[in-house]
């Protein structure tokens, strides 16, 4: 015990520093835990199941910290007012004893022994009595942690009627109660975490089973077995939609791959014939062409024809390749379709003198498109009609209006197309049986190119045909307003 006249003025802050300190501590802990967990997860590659479990754990840890924080705040809200009321009573008794000029030691010591609280008394900012030896305990404000005794003190200064009494509380008892409550909460929450992780693993396996099946099927898919598909039975909601989307994608990939294989195979087959012919005539020239002029002339003509045939095939293949790669450019402009058709009719009459060429041009539409490409497309239909119409047959080229467009029709009296072939004539390298049986030259690419040209100009194609009677190919083009 000390009784001296040292002048000490404690800082009297009316704000609740203790509550603020606790709040800052928990905020720092929460931020630190969140940063550690996020960094740990981002730096490692985990399975989806483990990531979901870690998310569960993180949420539970945050909820645990929040619950503990609420318990601490609740504890403070309850205990601090009780402490202040007790201190107010203690202050009144000490102040009454001082006012009666009783011996301070006789007044303070019984109260100290009963309340287990240390007491420091100031009058007019002069220290007149203290029950503690450590000067920090009556000079600090609100909170003080003694490292030697590992005790946290709370200082409550009451200043009335020129008498200031600082009552010093050891918070270890309250912290012990709070610690026991937190331990109970921790045990309960850890049991919850363990239970959720255990149940979550089962749920995750069930939920992620379709994804694992997708992974296994995707690993088995190769060029040799593109037909594998994901079993959508048992899947629900988004996973079912994902499985269907992947199956649809595989259908498109398989179709595209098969088309590519067929294209390469057909192109190789078409190139094999002219190459074989050229090699045959080259061998013939090597053996007899040097002395026999008839063999020499025959070989030169054959090689020239087959070279032209190969050039035509390569140009068609390049056209299709540019279209497939989206590098085919059309130079569109406004032009009068009637002039183009009349030009093509004159050209056809010059080269097809063995056929009857007729025309019915009843309109003069102006269309917007690539003039040369449209000419190439219509020329393919005309050449096709000439090829499959016997000499003396009739080819009619018509142009007429329909609504806001025009119709260009190529009508022939040729061999016609069977019903089974009608839906396949625009496929690449496809040739109907009738054309093969009649030994008609061609690669089966013309109509597919013509279709691409028409579609590139937002046009439509309609085909009517009857085996043995002829065919009608009708092309629809949009026209500029008021030009029909």
Domain assignment of residue 148, yes or no: yes
What is the per-residue pLDDT for 15? Answer: 46
Domain assignment of residue 183, yes or no: yes
Q: Give me the sheet containing 163-170, strands edge to edge.
A: 126-130, 118-123, 163-170, 151-160, 143-146
Domain assignment of residue 138, yes or no: yes
What is the per-residue pLDDT for 369? Answer: 92
- Examine the fold and report which residue of 286, 307, 324 is the final residue of a domain before the chain moves on: 324
Closest-CA residue to 158 (of 88, 253, 107, 79)? 88
Domain assignment of residue 222, yes or no: no
**What is the crossing angle of helices 237-284 and 293-324, to 10°?**
160
What is the per-residue pLDDT for 237? Answer: 65
Rounded to the nearest 5°, which phi and psi values hold at 233? -65, 130
CB 447 within 8 A of CB 428: no
C-alpha angle 358/386/389, rounded to 5°? 95
What is the per-residue pLDDT for 402? Answer: 84
Please return the burial class of 113, using the count of CB atoms within 10 Å of its CB with bins 0-12, 13-18 and 19+.
exposed
| pLDDT tens digits, one per residue of 382-406 | 988 998 899 999 999 999 988 888 9
Residue ranges, the chain, pLDDT below 50: 1-15, 45, 436, 482
Q: Are residues 359 and 452 in the same domain?
A: yes
Q: Are residues 71 and 130 in the same domain?
A: yes
Q: Are residues 61 and 153 in the same domain?
A: yes
Rounded to the nearest 5°, which phi and psi values hold at 106? -70, -25
CA 476/CA 375 separation, integer angstroms: 14
What is the per-residue pLDDT for 436? Answer: 47
What is the per-residue pLDDT for 398? Answer: 93
Domain assignment of residue 176, yes or no: yes
Largest separation between any pair of C-alpha atoms in the chain: 154
| pLDDT tens digits, one per residue of 86-106 | 888 888 888 888 777 778 888
CATH number at residue 471: 3.30.565.10
What is the per-residue pLDDT for 37? Answer: 66
Domain assignment of residue 198, yes or no: no
- Provide the pairing of β-strand 356-361 with 394-402: parallel
What is the per-residue pLDDT for 12? Answer: 41
Q: For 475, what's the count of Cα atoms within 13 Å in the CB-facing half-sphere?
A: 29
Q: Are residues 319 and 344 in the same domain?
A: no
Coil, strand or helix at 232: coil
Please return the burial class of 10, using the count of CB atoms within 10 Å of its CB with bins 0-12, 13-18 and 19+.
buried
- Examine the fold and report which residue of 137, 160, 193 is the final residue of a domain before the chain moves on: 193
Domain assignment of residue 24, yes or no: yes
Q: Are residues 73 and 131 in the same domain?
A: yes
Within 8 A by CB and 6+ apart from 405, the residues are 365, 476, 477, 478, 479
Domain assignment of residue 450, yes or no: yes
- Examine the fold and report which residue of 324, 356, 384 is the final residue of a domain before the chain moves on: 324
Within 8 A by CB and 6+ apart from 293, the residues are none
Q: Are residues 434 and 293 in the same domain?
A: no
Number of compact structural domains in the chain:
3
Q: Are residues 355 and 259 in the same domain?
A: no
Write out the residue range of the structural domain in which residue 83 sits. Answer: 17-193
């Amino acid at each position: 015990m000390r009784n001296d006249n040292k002048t000490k003025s404690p800082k009297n802050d009316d704000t609740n520093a203790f509550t603020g300190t606790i709040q800052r501590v928990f905020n720092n802990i929460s931020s630190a835990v969140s940063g550690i967990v996020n960094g740990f997860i981002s730096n490692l590659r985990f399975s989806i199941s483990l990531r979901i479990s870690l998310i569960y754990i993180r949420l539970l840890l945050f909820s645990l910290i929040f619950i503990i924080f609420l318990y601490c705040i609740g504890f403070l809200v309850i205990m601090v007012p009780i402490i202040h009321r007790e201190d107010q009573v203690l202050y009144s008794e000490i102040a009454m004893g001082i006012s009666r000029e009783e011996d301070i030691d006789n007044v303070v010591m019984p109260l100290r022994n009963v309340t287990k609280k240390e007491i420091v008394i100031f009058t007019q900012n002069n220290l007149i009595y203290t029950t503690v030896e450590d000067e920090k305990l009556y000079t600090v404000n609100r909170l003080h942690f003694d490292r030697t005794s590992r005790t946290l003190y709370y200082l409550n200064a009451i200043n009335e009627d020129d008498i200031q009494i600082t009552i010093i509380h050891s918070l270890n008892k309250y912290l012990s109660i709070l610690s026991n409550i937190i331990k109970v909460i921790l045990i309960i929450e850890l049991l919850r975490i363990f239970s959720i992780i255990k149940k979550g693993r089962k749920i995750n396996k069930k939920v992620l089973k379709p994804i694992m099946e997708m992974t296994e099927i995707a690993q088995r898919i190769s060029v040799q077995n593109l037909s594998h598909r994901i079993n959508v039975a048992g899947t629900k909601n988004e996973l079912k939609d994902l499985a269907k989307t992947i199956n649809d994608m595989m259908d498109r990939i398989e179709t595209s791959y098969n088309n590519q294989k067929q294209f390469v195979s057909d192109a190789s087959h078409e190139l094999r014939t002219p190459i074989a012919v050229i090699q045959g005539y080259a061998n013939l020239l090597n053996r007899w062409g040097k002395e026999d002029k008839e063999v020499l002339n025959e070989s030169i003509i054959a090689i020239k024809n087959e070279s032209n045939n190969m050039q035509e095939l390569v140009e068609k293949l390049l056209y299709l390749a540019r279209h497939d790669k989206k590098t085919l450019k059309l130079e569109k402009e406004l032009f009068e379709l009637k002039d183009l058709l009349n030009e093509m009719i004159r050209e056809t009459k010059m080269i097809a003198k063995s056929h009857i060429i007729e025309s019915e041009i009843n309109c003069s539409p102006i269309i917007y498109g690539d003039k040369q490409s449209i000419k190439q497309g219509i020329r393919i239909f005309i050449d096709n009609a000439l090829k499959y119409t016997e000499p003396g047959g009739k080819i009619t080229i018509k142009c007429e209006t329909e609504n806001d467009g025009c119709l260009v029709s190529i009508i022939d009296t040729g061999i016609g197309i069977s019903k089974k072939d009608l839906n396949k004539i625009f496929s690449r390298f496809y040739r109907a049986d009738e054309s093969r049986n009649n030994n008609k030259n061609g690669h089966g690419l013309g109509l597919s190119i013509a279709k691409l040209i028409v579609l590139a100009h937002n046009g439509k194609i309609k085909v009517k045909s009857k085996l043995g009677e002829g065919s009608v190919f009708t092309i629809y083009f949009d026209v500029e307003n008021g030009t029909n």
